[in-house]
């Protein structure tokens, strides 16, 4: 198990991922800039997990990190590289990490089940915010990918010893 500072950084990344999910759950959210602020905080926290682990576990870090990294599937390895590079670009150059678009979805799938479906006309749609990231030239849905990556990073935190 990782030391307390590494665990704290991982929990911080989890916190910001939850904030990203909460922000995107606002059905017709149009404040992409606010989402970008939270995404930047997530990238910084997620990237810091391995930085802090390296300092907290100097004897075992390299071996554990290389073993963990080699266990990642190609998509997660590309995501790991993306987070490393994108965090630097976001922090040092002020570049956005996500693309924002609106997507029309059936209104009954967007709003709370507490709103009766008969309130909407047949075929009624609403525009919802959708965020994606470019990895290896391909646009991918941001939140499911980052959630999966954080699960993989949690495995690293779990096996790290001091």
Span 84-130, pLDDT tens digits: 877 665 554 455 566 666 667 676 665 555 555 556 677 777 677 77
Q: Report the predicted TM-score, pTM, of the whole model to 2 decimal places.
A: 0.79
For residues 149 and 138, the answer to whether their CB atoms sit within 8 Å is: no
Q: Which 3 state secondary structure label does DSSP give 123?
A: coil
What is the model's pLDDT at position 70? 96
Alpha-carbon span 153 to 80, nearest angstrom:
9
For residues 128 and 102, the answer to whether their CB atoms sit within 8 Å is: yes
What is the model's pLDDT at position 152? 96
């Amino acid at each position: 198990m990782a030391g307390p500072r590494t665990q704290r950084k991982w929990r911080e990344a989890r916190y910001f991922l939850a904030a990203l999910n909460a922000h995107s759950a606002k059905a017709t959210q149009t404040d992409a800039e606010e989402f970008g602020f939270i995404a930047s905080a997530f990238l910084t926290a997620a990237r810091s997990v391995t930085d802090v682990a390296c300092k907290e576990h100097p004897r075992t870090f390299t071996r554990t990190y290389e073993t963990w990294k080699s266990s990642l599937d190609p998509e997660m390895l590309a995501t790991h590289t993306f987070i490393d590079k994108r965090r630097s670009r976001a922090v040092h150059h002020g570049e956005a990490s996500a693309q924002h678009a609106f997507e029309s979805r059936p209104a009954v799938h967007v709003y709370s089940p507490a709103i009766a479906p008969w309130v909407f006309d047949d075929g009624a749609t609403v525009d919802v915010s959708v965020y994606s990231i470019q990895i290896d030239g391909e646009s991918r849905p941001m939140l499911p990918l980052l959630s999966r990556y954080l699960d993989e990073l949690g495995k690293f935190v779990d096996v790290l010893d001091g």
